[in-house]
Structure 1
Amino acid sequence: MRNFVILGLAVAASVAIPAVYQSDPEAFHQFLKPAGEATVAPAEPAPALKIVASPVPAAPEVLLGRKVKVSADARGHFIADFKLNGRSVEGIVDTGATTVAINRSTARHIGISLRKDDFKHEVKTANGVTRAAGVVIERMQIGRIVVENVPAAVLEDAALDGTLVGMSFLSRLSKFQVEDGALLLVQ
């Protein structure tokens, strides 16, 4: 019986430690430092637009035809897996965003390479003004909904943490609406 209790505690710790780390990595690292070690606070970088997604987004419900229903998470956000140029990317649907916005790492992941001088457009974000590169995503897909040649903005990783699915994608659908706590997308 004692072995089962020890095994149960080990399993609980293996589940709890990653959750604690995700919620506050800096506090976790502070906890692990030896007692006599001095701490030097790093210089604060420019704030990034941080997209905090659910630990595991609910899979979108693919309906008959070219319809998809995305349930809201606990905070009311609509987060789902999209395919950008055939690569899976988690995105948060943002009707307030003029265009699809991705960061530079995501751009690389979906096969878009950029140079520093490509970042020539000034854009306004929730955290202020930053530079962006204009690109076209050849193919965006969620469920059976497929939209080709979607205009997008690429921001540096420090300015955007995640993917925003904005109006440059949504406006190409025949309908999108919220009903019963879910976002219905129809092509």
Structure 2
Amino acid sequence: MHNHLVVLVLASIVALAAPSLFERYEARLSSGQPEALDRAPDVVEAAAPVPGSPRETHIAGDWSGHFTTNAVMNGLTIPVIVDTGASRVVLDVATARRLGITPPAGDFRQPVQTANGVGLSAWTRIDEISVGTVSVRNVDALVLRDADLPQALLGMSFLTRLKGYSVEDGRLTLKD
């Protein structure tokens, strides 16, 4: 009930103020003076990467020392953990499905060792993965069936395709 009363009071104030605002605006228009517009913004050229110079993306480590970020895979934003211990990019079935990747059940025959034990995976390829300004096309990946994967893993099949990567002062730098 209180909310309705507040809305009614505000509507009454607007209804009372609107005619005088309209009259002032109408008087200004009929005075013949041109309406003053805000000055147009200055045009500034955007900084583009210099051809031949490496593009870099920096990722700060989290409280536990992991490098978590968002990657754009096949046009969709996917949360990832950068994992140099993973030989490939690794997705769970649900994430792969979001990317339009649905390996047939018979393709899950490649055993992989995970933190949760041995699991079965299916090989796939992701058309493009981008992290910040760094981008790699045609990246090998694995889809893990029945994986308890909190986030996709951005493994070595992505990292080794870069010009370089390094860790300094708790920050990961990816170079393309």
Instruction: Compute the TM-score of the two structures, normalised by the length of structure 2.
Output: 0.67
- Asked if the contact 2:66/2:81 (under 8 Å) is kept, the reply is yes
Matched, 1:169 2:158: yes
Report sequence identity in percent. Answer: 43
Rg (Cα) greater in structure? 2
Output the aligned Cα RMSD.
Answer: 1.2
Hey, which bits of structure 1, 4+ residues long, moved more than 4 A?
A: none
Could you tell me which of 112, 125, 137 is aligned with 2:114?
Answer: 125
1:64-86 CA-partner distances (Å, limit 9, x unpaired)? 65110000011111000000111
Superposed, 1:70-109 pairs within 5 Å as 70-109=59-98
Deviation larger for 116-125 or 76-85: 116-125
Question: Structure 1, residues 55-109: CA drift from partner, whole Å, max 9, x if none?
Answer: xxxxxxxxx6511000001111100000011100000000011111010000011
Secondary structure of the corresponding residue to residue 87 of structure 2: coil
Provide the aligned length of Structure 1 versus Structure 2. 124
Once residues 112 and 153 of structure 1 are traced to their aligned partners in structure 2, the CA distance between those partners, rounded to angstroms, is 11
Report the TM-score, using the length of structure 1 for normalisation.
0.64
Q: What is aligned with 1:143? A: 132
Runs of 5+ consecutive residues of structure 2 not aligned to the other structure:
1-48
Aligned partners of 2:91 and 2:63: how far apart in 1?
A: 23
Cα pair 1:105 1:157 within 8 Å, conserved: no
Unaligned runs of at least 5 residues, structure 1: 1-63
Alignment of 1:1-187 (within 5 A): 65-187=54-176
Aligned residue type for 2:122: A
**Is 1:130–1:159's contact at 8 Å kept on the other side of the alignment?**
no
